[in-house]
Amino acid sequence: MISLLLLVLAMALVTYIPRLVPLLWLRDIKLRPFLKRFLLFTPYAVLASLIFPGILQATTSLTSAVAGGVVSATLALLRVNLMFVVIGGIAGVYLMNLFL
């Protein structure tokens, strides 16, 4: 338990540092262009790597996970508010599970 709590605090620290350092010290520093582009692309690369293959095991069956993903992607394409993208995904999984 104590070691888990220490792990959580370590995770908190490595999460906080990238959030804090630029706000305090980056005003004057110029990033190299390559690094800047790398950081610009990072959010999309992370999101895509998080979605696949993790989503395949997000629910009790592959079919319902894919159904939820398709519903969410459709709603997201229609520029629906993020909250409804999430709720729609949950509903898609729920409904698909009813049929399985």
Partner 1 sequence: MATPVSQVTPLPNKDAFRSGMRAGIPVAVGYIPIAIAFGLLAKSFDMPNVITLAMSLFIFAGASQFIGVQLIMAGSMYWEIILTTFILNLRHFLMSASLSQRLETTSNRFLAAIAFGVTDETFSVASTRDESTRGHFVLGLNMIAFLAWNVGTWIGVFLAFGLPVSVQASMGIALYAMFIGLLVPSLTRKPVIVVAAIAVLTQAILYFGIAPFLPLSPGLSIILATVVAAGAGALLYKEDET
- State yes or no: residue 34 binds partner 1 (CB under 8 A): yes
Find the shortest distance in angstroms from Cβ 78 to partner 1.
Answer: 10
Measured between alpha carbons, how far is 45 from 26 in angstroms, rounded to an integer? 23
- Triad 52, 53, 59: Cα angle to 5°: 105
Residue 33, amino acid: P
By the 8 A CB rule, do 95 and 64 touch?
no
Find the shortest distance in angstroms from Cβ 35 to partner 1.
Answer: 8
Give me the 48-77 binding string for partner 1, x by CB under 8 A, dash otherwise: xxxxxxxx--xxx---xx--xx--xx-xxx
Measured between alpha carbons, how far is 88 from 70 in angstroms, rounded to an integer? 10
Find the shortest distance in angstroms from Cβ 37 to partner 1.
Answer: 4
- State yes or no: residue 22 binds partner 1 (CB under 8 A): yes
Pick from 41, 62, 63, 99: which binds partner 1 (CB under 8 A)? Answer: 41
